[in-house]
Amino acid sequence: MPIDTSARPPRTPARRGSVLPYFLLALFVILLDQLSKYLVNKHMQPGLNGEVPLIGNWFKLHYTLNPGMAFGVELLPPPYGKLLLTAFRLLAAGGISYYIVQLWRQRAAAGFIACMALILGGAVGNVIDSVFYGVIYHNAPFGSPTPWFFGQVIDMIYVDIYEGFLSSAWPILGGKYVSLWPIFNLADSSIFVGVALTLLLQGRFFKQTEQNTALATPAPPTSEPA
């Protein structure tokens, strides 16, 4: 009599290789970010006195402290907003780590997983500042309940895009004084690059994931006469 094996779905073979290289990429971002902040803190003066022009007057190194979020944005009121922000970053880092493992198991595109690793490295880099820099570099804001978890993020990449009055021809902002000069660090840059590449290449990542899944899925078994 025929043997019906169609009732049992075919097992997809385990993915070859390891997820470790993606976590090593995140670790590389963390180490590079922390090294840059150490060198800036050790060898540069804060503010205009220590500013170092790199490309004209629009791209510079400028040592400053950031108590808030990426690119100097502070959305939560001090002092306990800082604790909430740090807790959110810790949860986000744990969530992204789990997500990377799941993406690897589901045969997601390697480029997409690498983007997640860049975001993870940047998030952890800034978490280290918030948790430890108040103790290591004594840069917690005056009046902080404790130096732990109240450290300020070290920023140093200064892009002076524009500062002045915009023409009245501009919609919404026309006739107003505008300052566009973000100051950020390598961790912020890594997060930005990871998010930007994900948005720009999401179609390609989706196709690669489909191809990886299709290649790894075995053909369904057929019934053969005994």
147-181 pLDDT tens trace:
998 899 999 999 988 766 767 777 766 677 666 67
Q: Is residue 186 situated within a structural domain?
A: yes
Q: Is residue 145 situated within a structural domain?
A: yes
DSSP 159: E
User: Could you tell me which residues come within 8 angstroms of residue 99 by beta carbon, excluding any fewer than 6 positions away?
Assistant: 116
**Closest CA relative to residue 101, chosen from 190, 11, 192, 23:** 23
d(CA 138, CA 14): 48
d(CA 21, CA 2): 47
Number of structural domains in the chain = 1
Task: Answer yes or no: is pLDDT of 193 > 60.
Answer: yes
Task: Answer yes or no: is pLDDT of 223 > 70.
Answer: no
Q: Is residue 12 situated within a structural domain?
A: no
pLDDT at residue 9, as a whole number: 52
| Domain range enclosing 140 | 20-208
Bigger pLDDT: 9 or 87?
87
Q: Is residue 4 situated within a structural domain?
A: no
Q: Which residues are catalytic?
A: 155, 188
Q: Is residue 191 situated within a structural domain?
A: yes
Q: Is residue 148 situated within a structural domain?
A: yes
Q: Is residue 220 situated within a structural domain?
A: no
User: Could you tell me which residues come within 8 angstroms of residue 122 by beta carbon, excluding any fewer than 6 positions away?
Assistant: 29, 33, 186, 187, 188, 189, 190, 191, 192, 194
Region 193-209 average pLDDT: 95
DSSP notation for 36-99:
HHHHHHHH--BSGGG-EEEETTTEEEEEEEESSSGGG---S-TTHHHHHHHHHHHHHHHHHHHH
Which tens digit of pLDDT belongs to each residue from 95-140?
999 999 999 999 999 999 999 999 999 999 999 999 999 999 999 9
Q: Is residue 6 situated within a structural domain?
A: no
Burial string for 75-97 (b: 16+ CB within 10 Å, else e) reads eeeebeebbebbeebbeebeebb
Label the pairing between strands 153-159 and 59-66: antiparallel
pLDDT at residue 124, as a whole number: 96
Which tens digit of pLDDT belongs to each residue from 25-74?
999 999 999 999 999 999 999 988 889 999 988 899 999 998 765 444 45
pLDDT at residue 84, as a whole number: 80
